[in-house]
Amino acid sequence: MASNATDEIAFDFRPYFILYKDGHVDRLTENDFVPPSLNPEGVSSKDVAIIPELGVSARLFLPKLDAGDPHRKLTILVYFHGGGFCFVSAFCSLVHGYLTSIVTEANVIAVSIDFRRFPEHTLPAAYDDCWAALQWVASHSAGEAEPWLSEHGDFDRITIIGDSAGGNIVHNMAMRAGREEVGRGVKLDGAIFGHPYFCGAEAVGDEVKYPEKKAQGDYIWMLTNPTTVGLDDPQINPIAVGGPSLSGLGCARVLLCVAGNDILRDRGLLYYERLRSSGWKGTVELLESEAEEHVFHLYNPTRENARIIMPHIVSFLN
């Protein structure tokens, strides 16, 4: 029997997603929806619309407030999930559990952004959504509608964080924050990069030994951003010749995490070195998890090295 466009595969990226020629996608991992919850004994969460007409929304997390100081202002953590700009969401168990742990340990407010994804929307939609969401968070410094932020958030301590493609988004948001105003009188304090997704036309480090892995990452970028200038686009290769200097990074502090067995490790290390030598006035800390795979701390949070990462994040936030 002849196949039709609904079952003809254009790109098979199992176990993560399958793209079909008619444009629809099967997202195969971490799409289980976890509802928000109000929990006066621990972390509470709720979902809010940011740009309803575009479907951009967020899940907010609020820690248990100190009964002796219920009006204490808390660090605001804005999270951008990974998934190759295609899969994972702000509402899946993987992200919900991870942010609940950070909020519990660090006693911060967290805002997990759910942005538009490929293939329904190509880049730069995700970048635009995340910037709009960041500005929405900052708007609460003037007392906008969401009380968890306006009443409990410290707008001098906004940190952005993301893993994999989310780490790429962190870079692009921090660079934009160096060029544009996040909010009136609001600046980013910190940025946490979790195994950030970068690539480039010329292979570096282990990419030379594992060209098939590099090709996979390269293809994801070209697939999700059809208007890109290529693999040396500064959005995906921040150290490309002729790109903007990392001295323009619009935050005061950076925590950069890499994993020893991750094909993206060497690009993370190059980013770290280039940031240090760029003339940027902030401080950067590097945390390497030896003999670990890409974003292992999300999928295996009880591993010893994953338990080491959490105190670094907590210390950075506080």
Q: What is the DSSP letter of 176?
A: H
**What is d(CA 154, CA 174) in angstroms, rounded to the nearest whole number?**
18
Q: How many CB atoms lie within 10 A of CB 314?
A: 15
Measured N-to-C along each axis, helices 125-139 and 165-179 cross at an angle, to the nearest 10 degrees, of 60
For the annotated catalytic residues, the residue numbers are 164, 262, 294
Q: Report the DSSP pairing between strands 109-114 and 74-80.
A: parallel
**Among candidates 137, 89, 140, 95, which has minimal Cα distance to 116?**
89
First to last CA, the chain: 62
Q: Could you identify the residue written with the tokens 């953590």?
A: 77
- CA separation for the pair 274, 286 (Å, rounded): 13
